[in-house]
Structure 1
Amino acid sequence: MRQHLFIDADDTLWENNIYFEHATEAFIEFLDHSSLSPHEIRAVINEVELTQGYGTASFIHRLQKAYRRLCERDVTTEALERIKTFGEQIQRHPMQLIDGVKETLEYLAPRHMLAVLTKGDQDEQRLKLDNSGLADYFEHIIVVAEKNVETYKDLIQKFALLPERSWMIGNSPRSDINPALAAGFNAVFIPHPHTWDMEIQDVRHEGNGHLLTLHAFSELRQHF
Structure 2
Amino acid sequence: MIKNQIQVIAFDADDTLWVNEPYFQETELAFCQLLEAYLPVHEVSQELFRTEMKNLALYGYGVKGFMLCMIETLSRVSNDKASIVLVNKVIALGQSLLQQPIALLDGVTEVLKHLKSDYRLVVATKGDLLDQERKLRNSGLQDYFHHIEIMSDKQTFDYQKLLKHLDCKPEHFLMLGNSIKSDILPVLELGGYAAHIPYHTTWAHEQITESLTHPNFLSLNTMTEIIEILKN
Deviations 1:67-96 (A, max 9, x none): 111126821221111011111111222110
- Cα distance in structure 2, aligned partners of 1:202 and 1:196: 13
Q: CA deviation at 1:213?
A: 0.7
Superposition TM-score, scaled by structure 1 size: 0.92
Q: Is the 8 A contact 2:173 2:193 kept in 1?
A: yes
Aligned residues: 222
Q: Does 1:25 align with 2:29?
A: yes
Q: CA deviation at 1:3?
A: 2.3
- Cα distance in structure 1, aligned partners of 2:177 and 2:72: 30
Q: Does 1:170 align with 2:173?
A: no
Choose from 208, 225, 229 the match for 1:223.
Answer: 229
Q: Secondary structure at the match of 1:5?
A: strand
Equivalent in the alignment of 2:110:
103
Q: CA deviation at 1:163?
A: 1.6
Matched letter for residue 210 of structure 1 = N
Equivalent in the alignment of 1:41:
44
Q: Does 1:141 align with 2:141?
A: no
Deviations 1:2-39 (A, max 9, x none): 5211110000000001001000010111100555451x
Structure 2, unmatched stretches of 5+, are: none
Q: Is the 8 A contact 2:126 2:154 kept in 1?
A: yes
- Sequence identity (%): 32
Q: Secondary structure at the match of 1:142?
A: strand
Q: Secondary structure at the match of 2:104?
A: coil
Structure 1, unmatched stretches of 5+, are: none
Q: Is the 8 A contact 2:29 2:41 kept in 1?
A: no
Choose from 121, 131, 137 the match for 1:130.
Answer: 137
Choose from 48, 53, 58 the match for 2:60.
Answer: 53
Q: Is the 8 A contact 1:101 1:217 kept in 2?
A: yes
- Cα distance in structure 2, aligned partners of 1:203 and 1:190: 16
- Cα distance in structure 2, aligned partners of 1:183 and 1:13: 24
Q: Does 1:193 align with 2:200?
A: yes
Matched letter for residue 205 of structure 2 = M
- Cα distance in structure 1, aligned partners of 2:192 and 2:73: 37
More off after superposition, 11-20 vs 92-101: 92-101
**What is the root-mean-square deviation of aligned Cα atoms in Å?**
1.9
